[in-house]
Amino acid sequence: MDQIIVEAAPRETRGKNAARRLRVSGQVPAVLYGGKDGAESLAVNTKQVSAILRSASGHNTIFKVKTEHAEQPAIVKDWQVDPVKGTLVHVDLLRIAMDVRMRVKVPVHVFGEPQGVKLQGGVFEMVIREVEIECLPNDIPTEFNMDISGLMMGMQLRASDIPVDPAKIKMLTDPMRVLAHVVALRVEEEKPVEAVAADAATPAEPELIKKGKKEAEDGEEGEAAPAEKEKKK
């Protein structure tokens, strides 16, 4: 496999204006850190880093940061993207040693149609989409592909179900952690027709009582009027 190279140059100036000028020129501000050396402020080629992030291995891709004086193996540790334009704003690069084990997160992809969905009317849900492992840089898998066609209703896919070579890869995610499962479709319980009819009739009752009471009061007032007249006479 061809070695991936990311061209970089020391970044002398700081601030928003300097960073904006870098992006216009086809570069993006970056920081390279880790290992025995200190942190370096760099300007790296935007297209090259973007291509790495879009590749199958994504941020776990191993490449070499090429400066004027050296080539250092690294991976993309973190990155920021403009929320409107979708372009890279800043990247953090981590130096790696090819003979030192490291912790990385690897995506989990699934394929197949669960039997619990096909035959039992269940719903398939993906709970988490990546697991954390520890291994040498050259042993980092691009992804874990899991067949879920055998999942029945109530069954789960757990981290322990992912096949790994223990001599090369150590699973750091809790083995009992649920990655995906098939569950019953949640349907809101409908009220019986009689209950719905009763609920609809309930608000009218206070109104009728109030109306009847008012009519009675009106009647009392009407009867009291002649008595008052008689008293005056």
Q: What is the chain's pLDDT, residue by residue, as a tens digit (233 residues)?
A: 468 999 999 987 777 888 888 888 899 999 999 887 889 999 999 999 999 999 989 999 999 999 888 899 999 999 999 899 888 999 999 999 999 999 999 999 999 999 999 999 999 999 999 999 999 999 999 999 999 999 999 999 999 999 999 999 999 999 999 999 999 987 655 555 565 555 655 555 454 444 444 444 444 444 444 444 444 44
Q: Is 59 exposed, middle or buried (0-12, 13-18, 19+ CB in 10 A)?
A: middle
Give pLDDT, residue 17.
Answer: 81
φ, ψ of residue 219 to 5 degrees: the values are -65, -40
Give pLDDT, residue 201.
Answer: 55
Give pLDDT, residue 224.
Answer: 44
Task: Determine the residue type at 220.
Answer: E
Give pLDDT, residue 23.
Answer: 87
Q: Which of 56, 55, 76 is nearest to 65 (CA)?
A: 76
Q: How far apart are CA 21 and CA 199, in angstroms?
A: 67
φ, ψ of residue 101 to 5 degrees: the values are -65, 145
Model-level pTM?
Answer: 0.69
CB 77 within 8 A of CB 18: no
Give pLDDT, residue 188.
Answer: 56
Task: Determine the residue type at 54.
Answer: R
Instruction: Please identify which residue in the block is written with the tokens 């050296």.
Output: 70
Residues whose CB falls within 8 Å of the CB of residue 115, separated by 6 or more in sequence, listed in order: 149, 150, 151, 152
Kind and range of the H or E run holding 160: none
Alpha helices in 25-71 (DSSP H): 46-54
Token pair for 13: 């100036």
Collapse the DSSP code of 43 into the 3-class scheme (helix H, G, I; strand E, B; otherwise coil) and give the result: strand
Q: Which of 125, 109, 16 is nearest to 56 (CA)?
A: 109
Collapse the DSSP code of 94 into the 3-class scheme (helix H, G, I; strand E, B; otherwise coil) and give the result: strand
Q: How far apart are CA 158 and CA 176, in angstroms?
A: 6
Give pLDDT, residue 75.
Answer: 95
Pairing relationship of beta strands 71-81 and 88-95 according to DSSP bridges: antiparallel
